[in-house]
Structures are given as structure tokens and as C-alpha cells.
Amino acid sequence: MENIDLIIKSAQCVLPEEISIKDVGITGGKISCIQDSIDASNYPNAQIIEAKGKHLLPGIIDTQVHFRDPGLTHKEDLHTGSLSALLGGVTTFLEMPNTHPSTTTKEAIEFKINRAKELSYTNFGFFIGANGENLEEIKACQGLDGCPGVKIFLGSSTGDLLLYKEDKLLEIFTSVKSPIALHSENEEMLRERKDIQKEAKSVHAHYEWRNVETALSSTKRVIGIARKANKKVHVLHITSKDEIEFLKENKDICTVEVTPQHLTLYAPDIYDQIDTKAQMNPPIRTKKHSDALWSIGINQNVVDVIGSDHAPHTLQEKNRGYPKSPSGLPGVQTILTIMLDHVNKGVLSLEKCVELLCSAPAKLYSLKNKGSLIEGYDADCTLIDLSKFQTLKDEDMASKVGWTPYHGKVIQGVVEGTIVNGKPAYLYGKVYEGFRGLPIVTA
């Protein structure tokens, strides 16, 4: 072995085939060796991280964040969003196009990439949004480093991106090779049912307005279009038993994402407890639905990946009261630890957790050399203490909005270090400034 820059010693490594205690050597931003023991005395210049008793995971890939940059930077920007990611053990984020202006051109993607090269603590990718008039721009972004694929809002949410006409969707599905990620709610039904929202007395009306049927009908429709086009599509943040049962029968033509919040929080309790802070699209629903996301979604392998849908809005905005309050909640800093708490509660294995947060996202978006601890892969790793407890607190959140829906919750599992491209940018409570992430490369 030539040189080694960094040795992570004696962690329980979650490898593709097993969990075992190894020393991991990192050279030039890549994992150069994974061995039972690396003799550090042979590498006097190497930095050593003692990790006995900890677990080393492949770096977490968050497939769905909104970092609001450009245009809505009073809520978040690429610096604060990526710092939040780093503290949460996320080494790569994929960001959504509903910024202001919406990200609908190659130029807008390149603008974000250049800004992230200056500001981002972690690796990054930016989705291009489809608006029905930018097919050539979408095609120009196919295979572009830093762009994982296309995002389509089938129902309106934050921002003005919206596209639900069948002919336009069919045109995109048949002519675009990149992954296509869908926000699936039925716009026509949302409009028909708008009075429920307008006349609402409390935030509980949110999941009545945007009910299961609005999500299910949109998902059925879009899967039909995907079949016509013979294009596999990715359906984001699935929230209901009904949809997960439907998607289970249609796995040949789609992949499926859920969020930690839909797996962890449920109505009406969460709305009673934190009011509009729990308001998001598609909504958090009753326990019956959350239970089905576990029993069918996770346990029967219908769900492929977990993404946080980190969607920060300021407390001032949230406190306007329903329905004036915007939809979305922050989550990039808690995506991993909330799932580790589920691991500790025995409902999820650590191996499955790593699949949902690391290897499956890398596979879904063809992220080259990411998502697994394998020699030759990018040295993106997350060091955790699975046994430590912590209380999640608003004041510990690096997001500009400074709050978390989990404030006060005691969970088991702590992020101890986040190694991005071989650099320990966060370690044992300290952020090391000066490192910047890179755009994703797709295979």
C-alpha cells in the first residue's frame, strides 16, 4: 500500500456482506483498504480516528432536500442546509428545483452547482424541474455531473412548479433517460376540495383536504402513464396504506420513497402536539397508514429509499396559522438518527437502514462509487454511536429555521463523525472548516 492519509481504526463496519470490526484506510479521497488491521506505524503522516465501539456506515445520501437557494434564502441556503446535512451524517444531498426562480434550465443547474462548490460542506446534486415547456433543457442535463434527474410536481405545493397533463407527462417519460422523481397528488382533486382548506378551523383539516384519495388517484394515473411509456419512475414520499398496497403490485415500473416523518409521526396526535409544524405535502396521516408504511412498505421491500424531504419554513411563517402557514418541515439533520432510533427499537435492522439510506439511493440515481464501503469507492463515511442517547433540540439544529418537529424527543443513536471525500469535516462534536463537497458523478 503506497500512502494512507486517514485510518479509521476498529469500527464495526457495515460492509456489503457483513458487519465486522475493521481498519479502514483512506487515500486521496478514496477508500484504499479495508483490513482486519492496518499497522499505523507504517504511515506516520496518517491521521488516525479511534473508533472502537462505534459503527462506520457508508455516507448517508439524502435523496430529497429543499435548500431554498437561490431566492428563498431567508429559510435556508446551501451553506446552512449542507451544514445541517453534515451534522446529520449526510455526505451527499440531492436538492429539489422549487427554488425561486424554479430550476428549469441547464444554466440554473450550473448556477447551483457553482454556488454549492463554494458553499457546500457535503457532496451535492440538483434536480431539474419539469414545467411542460423545457424538454430540451431536461435533455441537456442528462448525464450532467451534479444533476441526478428530473422532478415533477403533479400536484401544487411550495413554489410554482406543476405539471399534470397526460400528453406532456407521456412526452417526458418517453424521451428522457434520466431518473424521474414524482410528487404525486391529484391537482384537480386538490382544487375541487379547496373549500375544506379555506374553511379550516385547524391544521387537522390539512390531511382531510389532501386526503388519501388525492394521492392514490394521482399515483394510479401516473403509473398508468409510466406503463404506456415503458419508463420506470420514482414516486416520492408515499404516505398511505392504499398507495403502498397499489405500488406493491406495480414494482416492475416504479421505485418508492418514504420519509422518516411519515414512518414516525401520525395524526391526529402530532397535529395536537406541534400544530402547523407538522403540516407538509403530502400530509402526515393516521397511525393505520404509518403502520402500513412499515409492515408493507419497509418489511415487504416495497420501499426502495428513504429521503428526508427537508423543507424548512421559518417559525414566523409557520405561526401564521392554518391555512396561511406553508407546508414542509426540516429533517436533513435528523434523517439518520431518527432511523437509528427505529433500529434500536428493533423494528429495522442496521443493514436494512444502510440499504435504504446509502446503497439503494446510490443505485437508484446511478451515483458512481457511492453508497457502500468498498475499496476504490469514494471515502464518504458516517461514524455513529448506536448506543448513545440524545435529546433532539431546536437549538442544536444548524438549519437557518432553527427548529425540528422532534424537539424534546429522546432517541438512541448519535452521529459522531461525517467523512466527506476522505476529509473528516465533522468529528466528535467539532466542525472542521475549509472542506467543500463535489458534484455527484452518474455512471
Q: Could you list the residues that contact ligand DOR (CB under 6 A)?
A: 66, 98, 157-158, 183, 280-281, 311, 327-328
In this chain, which residue has its C-beta nearest to ligand DOR?
328
* Least Å from the CB of residue 203 to ligand DOR: 13
DSSP SS3 for 270: helix
Nearest to 13 by CA among 24, 25, 2, 26: 24
User: End-to-end distance of the chain based on CA atoms, in angstroms?
Assistant: 27
- Minimum distance of ligand DOR from residue 103's CB (angstroms): 12
How are beta strands 30-35 and 19-27 bridged, if at all?
antiparallel
Cα–Cα distance measured from residue 358 to residue 57, given in angstroms and rounded to the nearest whole number: 8
> Residue written as cell 448556477?
111
User: Any catalytic annotation for residue 385?
Assistant: no
Q: Which lies closer to ligand DOR via its Cβ, residue 66 or residue 342?
A: 66
With 0-12 / 13-18 / 19 or more C-beta atoms within 10 angstroms meaning exposed / middle / buried, residue 364 is buried
What DSSP state is assigned to residue 367? Answer: B
Cell numbers that stand for 208 in this block: 382531510
CB of 100 to ligand DOR, least distance (A): 11
Catalytic residue among 5, 242, 309, 380: 309
Closest CB 140 distance from ligand DOR, rounded Å: 24
Of 129 and 328, CB closest to ligand DOR: 328
Q: Name the 3-class secondary structure at 77.
A: coil
Would you tell me the crossing angle of helices 106-119 and 78-87 to the nearest 10 degrees?
60
Cis status of the peptide bond prior to 283, with omega within 30 of 0 = no
- CB nearer ligand DOR, residue 54 or residue 277: 277
46 exposure class (CB count in 10 Å sphere: 0-12, 13-18, 19+)? middle
Smallest separation (angstroms) from ligand DOR to the CB of 436: 25
Shortest gap between Cβ of 158 and ligand DOR (angstroms)?
A: 3
H or E element at residue 10: strand 6-14
Q: Are 300 and 346 in contact (CB under 8 A)?
A: no
Closest contact distance (angstroms) between CB of 348 and ligand DOR is 24
> Whose Cβ is closer to ligand DOR: residue 280's or residue 373's?
280
CA 383/CA 424 separation, integer angstroms = 10
DSSP letters along 384-424, please?
EEEEEEEE--GGG--STT---TTTT-EEEEEEEEEEETTEE
Q: Which of 90, 36, 177, 45 lies closest to 440, judged by CA?
A: 90
What residues act catalytically? 309
